Structure 1
Amino acid sequence: MRLALWAAAALVLGAAAPASADEVGRVGVDWLGNDIVVQAVQDPKVQGITCHVSYFDRGVVDRLQKGNWFENPSDSAVSCHQTGPITIGDIDLSEKGEEVFKQGISLIWKKQVVNRIYDKTNNTLIYLSHSRQVQNGSAKMAITTVPLYDQNVVWTSSKPK
């Protein structure tokens, strides 16, 4: 039975591992094995922008104590900055923007998401980190901006007017 519990825990923790982000830090926050994970994410349509996303990763002991084996909390943080020359590809310029990054933070339904929105008036890229669930959505979010004013930005399509 104990082996089955450890196997289930490994499956849950493995399911939360991202495919398109690089883990650059992991900080232990208590003796229960809970960690804060920091990942670097490259914006796939905007070269020269790197986002660092952090989230809480529950340890096996915490999962055993509290039940709820199958998900991490919705808390996250994001910080995006210019890390090279900026080249903007064919991005969604609508008010809702587009998803830049997504990873599972539960076995099936809950996702941690980073969306990019272009603020044309202020010539700024906005990155919003939040969780998405089928129901009972969370209001926990984080936001960061990358101003493009006075930058040598290359638009592969024409710059929005």
Structure 2
Amino acid sequence: MTRMILAALACLATPQLLPAKEVGRIGVDWVGNDIIVEAIHDPKVAGVTCHITYFERSLIDRLSQGNWFEDPSNASIACRQTGPIIVGDIDRGRSGEDVFRERRSIVLKTLRIRRIFDAENQTLIYVAHARELTEGSAKMAVSTVPLFGDATQPTE
């Protein structure tokens, strides 16, 4: 139990890696639930922008459902080249590295975007997923950005 409390405190103390900018908001029902659209620029890969969408519950929905502190884990992602791609010092390991992280509940759940470099196919893979302290989530979305030409090759 102490380990779980320490892990929860560590999650709270961890800053968001990269700020997202809200670029759109779609109202989906009369109680005020919305789909949020945000743009995120990869901090280590110039020329790549990811757009994520996720559901944000309204106060009325929170009151009627009784779950005050949590939003759903569902998210969608699309990443595209938005300028000349320059790959910086990225993690080339099989598990990649976080590009973005945002809390989706008070303590236990975060929405993350993780970048993985597929060297064989010269492609950047971006995976949006929820990470929960107590149980995993199978809700995820993936987007890829191919790297073409000598100027876009990652630096060693």
The aligned runs of 1:34-73 (5 Å cut-off) are: 34-73=33-72
CA–CA distance in structure 1, aligned partners of residues 81 and 120 of structure 2: 20
Amino acid at match of 1:75: N
String of CA shifts for 1:3-37, please: whole Å, max 9, x gaps. xxxxxxxxxxxxxx997010000000001110000
Instruction: Quote the Cα distance in structure 2 between the aligned partners of 1:149 and 1:18.
Output: 27
Aligned counterparts of 1:113 and 1:69: Cα–Cα separation in 2: 21
Tell me, in whole angstroms, the C-alpha distance in 1 between the residues paired with 2:110 and 2:83: 29
List per-residue Cα deviations over 1:89-141 (Å, max 9, x = no partner).
10000000000000011112210000000001110000000000101211000
CA distance in 1, matches of 2:61, 2:146: 40
Structure 1's 148 and 140: CA in aligned 2 closer, same or farther, altered over 3 A?
Answer: same
Structure 1 18/25 Cα, relative in aligned 2: closer, same or farther at 3 Å? farther
Q: Which runs of 5+ in 1 are unaligned?
A: 1-16
Deviation at 1:154, TM superposition (A): 5.2
Structure-2 separation of matches of 1:20 and 1:68: 26
Q: TM-score, normalised by structure 2?
A: 0.86
Cα 1:39–1:19 shift into 2, 3 Å? same
1:147 and 1:49 mapped to 2: Cα distance?
Answer: 11
Cα distance in 2 for partners of 1:46, 1:99 equals 13
Q: SS of 2:98's equivalent?
A: strand
1:18/1:44 CA distance change after superposition, 3 Å: closer
Give the fraction of aligned pairs with identical amino acids, expressed as a percent: 51
Per the TM alignment, residue 80 of structure 1 is displaced from its structure 2 partner at its CA by: 0.2
Letter aligned with residue 107 of structure 1: I
In the TM superposition, what are the counterparts of 1:77-156 in structure 2 within 5 Å? 77-150=76-149, 152-153=151-152, 155=154
Q: 1:18 to 1:110 in 2, by over 3 A?
A: same
Q: Measured at CA, do residues 19 and 33 of structure 1 come closer, stay the same or move farther in structure 2, by a change above 3 Å?
A: farther
Structure 1 residue ranges (4+ consecutive) displaced by more than 2 angstroms after TM superposition: 149-152
- Give the TM-score taking structure 1 as reference length: 0.83
Partner Cα distance (2:95, 2:53) in 1:
23
Cα root mean square deviation, aligned: 1.7
